[in-house]
Protein backbone atom coordinates (compact mmCIF):
# COMPACT_ATOMS: atom_id res chain seq x y z
CA UNK A 1 0.00 0.00 0.00
CA UNK A 2 1.48 3.36 -0.97
CA UNK A 3 1.47 6.41 1.31
CA UNK A 4 -1.33 8.19 -0.61
CA UNK A 5 -3.79 5.33 -0.23
CA UNK A 6 -2.79 5.02 3.42
CA UNK A 7 -3.67 8.68 4.01
CA UNK A 8 -7.00 8.19 2.28
CA UNK A 9 -8.31 6.12 5.16
CA UNK A 10 -6.80 7.94 8.14
CA UNK A 11 -9.92 9.44 9.68
CA UNK A 12 -13.47 8.62 10.70
CA UNK A 13 -16.59 10.29 9.30
CA UNK A 14 -20.08 9.10 10.28
CA UNK A 15 -23.55 10.04 9.03
CA UNK A 16 -26.77 9.14 10.88
CA UNK A 17 -30.32 10.01 9.84
CA UNK A 18 -32.80 9.45 12.69
CA UNK A 19 -35.79 11.15 14.26
CA UNK A 20 -36.16 13.98 11.78
CA UNK A 21 -32.47 14.93 11.81
CA UNK A 22 -29.38 14.09 9.82
CA UNK A 23 -26.01 14.40 11.52
CA UNK A 24 -22.49 14.10 10.12
CA UNK A 25 -19.57 13.98 12.52
CA UNK A 26 -15.87 13.46 12.11
CA UNK A 27 -12.75 13.25 14.20
CA UNK A 28 -9.98 15.84 14.04
CA UNK A 29 -6.84 13.75 13.66
CA UNK A 30 -4.52 14.25 10.71
CA UNK A 31 -1.86 11.58 10.45
CA UNK A 32 1.17 11.45 8.21
CA UNK A 33 2.27 7.84 8.30
CA UNK A 34 2.71 6.98 11.98
CA UNK A 35 2.83 10.60 13.15
CA UNK A 36 -0.10 12.72 14.30
CA UNK A 37 0.50 16.13 12.73
CA UNK A 38 -2.76 17.81 13.80
CA UNK A 39 -5.45 16.88 16.29
CA UNK A 40 -8.19 19.42 15.58
CA UNK A 41 -8.77 19.43 11.82
CA UNK A 42 -12.27 20.28 10.64
CA UNK A 43 -13.29 17.51 8.22
CA UNK A 44 -17.03 18.22 8.43
CA UNK A 45 -18.58 21.42 7.12
CA UNK A 46 -21.67 23.14 5.77
CA UNK A 47 -22.10 23.72 2.05
CA UNK A 48 -24.69 25.43 -0.18
CA UNK A 49 -25.40 28.26 2.27
CA UNK A 50 -25.94 25.75 5.09
CA UNK A 51 -28.48 23.49 3.36
CA UNK A 52 -25.97 20.65 2.84
CA UNK A 53 -23.50 19.10 5.27
CA UNK A 54 -20.51 17.03 4.29
CA UNK A 55 -17.46 15.25 5.61
CA UNK A 56 -14.37 13.83 3.96
CA UNK A 57 -11.79 11.14 4.49
CA UNK A 58 -8.61 11.44 2.50
CA UNK A 59 -5.84 13.79 1.56
CA UNK A 60 -6.74 17.27 2.78
CA UNK A 61 -5.94 19.20 -0.40
CA UNK A 62 -7.90 16.65 -2.42
CA UNK A 63 -10.89 17.01 -0.12
CA UNK A 64 -10.82 20.82 -0.35
CA UNK A 65 -10.75 20.55 -4.13
CA UNK A 66 -13.74 18.19 -4.07
CA UNK A 67 -15.70 20.40 -1.66
CA UNK A 68 -15.11 23.38 -3.99
CA UNK A 69 -16.24 21.35 -6.99
CA UNK A 70 -19.32 20.14 -5.12
CA UNK A 71 -20.17 23.74 -4.16
CA UNK A 72 -20.04 24.61 -7.85
CA UNK A 73 -22.32 21.70 -8.76
CA UNK A 74 -24.75 22.69 -5.99
CA UNK A 75 -24.87 26.23 -7.43
CA UNK A 76 -25.48 24.77 -10.88
CA UNK A 77 -28.21 22.40 -9.57
CA UNK A 78 -29.72 24.18 -6.54
CA UNK A 79 -31.80 21.96 -4.27
CA UNK A 80 -30.74 18.85 -6.22
CA UNK A 81 -28.07 17.20 -4.08
CA UNK A 82 -28.25 13.84 -5.85
CA UNK A 83 -27.87 15.40 -9.30
CA UNK A 84 -25.01 17.61 -8.13
CA UNK A 85 -23.25 14.56 -6.66
CA UNK A 86 -23.75 12.48 -9.80
CA UNK A 87 -22.28 15.30 -11.90
CA UNK A 88 -19.35 15.66 -9.47
CA UNK A 89 -18.54 11.95 -9.51
CA UNK A 90 -18.74 11.88 -13.32
CA UNK A 91 -16.14 14.63 -13.43
CA UNK A 92 -14.12 12.97 -10.66
CA UNK A 93 -13.99 9.68 -12.54
CA UNK A 94 -13.29 11.07 -16.01
CA UNK A 95 -11.26 14.27 -15.57
CA UNK A 96 -7.53 13.56 -15.83
CA UNK A 97 -6.70 15.83 -12.86
CA UNK A 98 -9.62 14.92 -10.61
CA UNK A 99 -9.32 11.16 -10.99
CA UNK A 100 -5.97 11.33 -9.20
CA UNK A 101 -7.65 12.75 -6.08
CA UNK A 102 -7.80 10.32 -3.20
CA UNK A 103 -10.73 10.95 -0.90
CA UNK A 104 -14.24 9.83 -0.05
CA UNK A 105 -17.12 12.03 1.03
CA UNK A 106 -20.37 11.76 2.94
CA UNK A 107 -22.89 14.49 2.10
CA UNK A 108 -26.47 15.09 3.16
CA UNK A 109 -29.33 17.53 2.86
CA UNK A 110 -32.73 17.37 4.52
CA UNK A 111 -33.90 14.64 2.13
CA UNK A 112 -30.96 12.43 1.16
CA UNK A 113 -27.56 11.28 2.44
CA UNK A 114 -24.92 9.99 0.04
CA UNK A 115 -21.49 8.36 -0.02
CA UNK A 116 -19.29 9.59 -2.90
CA UNK A 117 -16.06 8.15 -4.26
CA UNK A 118 -13.70 8.71 -7.16
CA UNK A 119 -14.73 5.34 -8.59
CA UNK A 120 -18.04 6.90 -9.57
CA UNK A 121 -19.97 5.75 -6.52
CA UNK A 122 -23.00 7.75 -5.41
CA UNK A 123 -24.59 5.50 -2.81
CA UNK A 124 -27.56 6.19 -0.56
CA UNK A 125 -26.95 3.98 2.47
CA UNK A 126 -29.58 1.62 3.81
CA UNK A 127 -31.05 2.72 7.11
CA UNK A 128 -29.61 6.24 6.82
CA UNK A 129 -26.26 5.30 8.39
CA UNK A 130 -22.89 5.41 6.62
CA UNK A 131 -19.25 5.79 7.60
CA UNK A 132 -15.92 6.25 5.83
CA UNK A 133 -12.28 6.29 6.82
CA UNK A 134 -10.02 4.04 8.85
CA UNK A 135 -12.35 4.04 11.85
CA UNK A 136 -15.46 3.98 9.67
CA UNK A 137 -16.32 0.33 10.19
CA UNK A 138 -16.05 0.68 13.97
CA UNK A 139 -18.25 3.79 13.97
CA UNK A 140 -20.70 2.17 11.54
CA UNK A 141 -21.14 -0.93 13.71
CA UNK A 142 -21.59 1.17 16.84
CA UNK A 143 -24.08 3.50 15.14
CA UNK A 144 -26.18 0.63 13.82
CA UNK A 145 -26.42 -0.83 17.32
CA UNK A 146 -27.03 2.49 19.07
CA UNK A 147 -29.58 3.76 16.52
CA UNK A 148 -32.03 1.08 17.67
CA UNK A 149 -32.14 2.62 21.16
CA UNK A 150 -33.45 5.88 22.57
CA UNK A 151 -30.47 8.09 21.64
CA UNK A 152 -31.10 10.87 19.13
CA UNK A 153 -29.04 11.12 15.93
CA UNK A 154 -26.43 13.47 17.39
CA UNK A 155 -25.93 11.32 20.48
CA UNK A 156 -25.55 8.23 18.28
CA UNK A 157 -22.86 10.00 16.23
CA UNK A 158 -21.00 11.29 19.28
CA UNK A 159 -20.99 7.91 21.05
CA UNK A 160 -20.09 5.98 17.88
CA UNK A 161 -17.17 8.29 17.11
CA UNK A 162 -15.97 7.90 20.71
CA UNK A 163 -16.05 4.12 20.30
CA UNK A 164 -14.12 4.35 17.02
CA UNK A 165 -11.51 6.61 18.72
CA UNK A 166 -11.00 3.95 21.40
CA UNK A 167 -10.22 1.34 18.71
CA UNK A 168 -8.67 3.05 15.66
CA UNK A 169 -5.22 4.62 16.06
CA UNK A 170 -5.98 7.02 13.18
CA UNK A 171 -9.07 8.45 14.93
CA UNK A 172 -9.19 10.81 17.89
CA UNK A 173 -11.96 12.01 20.20
CA UNK A 174 -11.82 15.65 19.03
CA UNK A 175 -15.01 15.71 16.94
CA UNK A 176 -16.83 18.21 14.76
CA UNK A 177 -20.58 17.67 14.33
CA UNK A 178 -22.98 19.29 11.86
CA UNK A 179 -26.75 18.74 12.01
CA UNK A 180 -29.70 19.41 9.71
CA UNK A 181 -33.39 18.95 10.31
CA UNK A 182 -34.50 16.24 7.88
CA UNK A 183 -37.61 16.27 5.71
76: number of Cβ within 10 Å: 11
Dist. CA 62–CA 69, nearest whole Å: 11
Residue 11 annotated to the active site: yes
- Say which of 11, 12, 89, 171 is annotated catalytic: 11
What is the DSSP annotation of the chain?
A: --HHHHHHTSSEEEEEEETTEEEEEEE--EEETTEEEES----EEEEGGGTEEEEEEE-HHHHHHHHHHHHHHHHHSTT-HHHHHHHHHHHHHHSTTGGG--EEEEEE-SS-EEEEETTS-EE--GGGEEEEETTHHHHHHHHHHHHTSS--HHHHHHHHHHHHHHH-TT--S-EEEEEEE--
Catalytic residues: 11
Amino acid sequence: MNDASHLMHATTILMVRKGGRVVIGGDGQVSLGQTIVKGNAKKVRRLAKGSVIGGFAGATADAFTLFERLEGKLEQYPGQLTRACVELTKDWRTDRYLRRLEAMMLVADKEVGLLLSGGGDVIEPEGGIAAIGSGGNYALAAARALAEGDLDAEAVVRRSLAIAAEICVYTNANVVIETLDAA
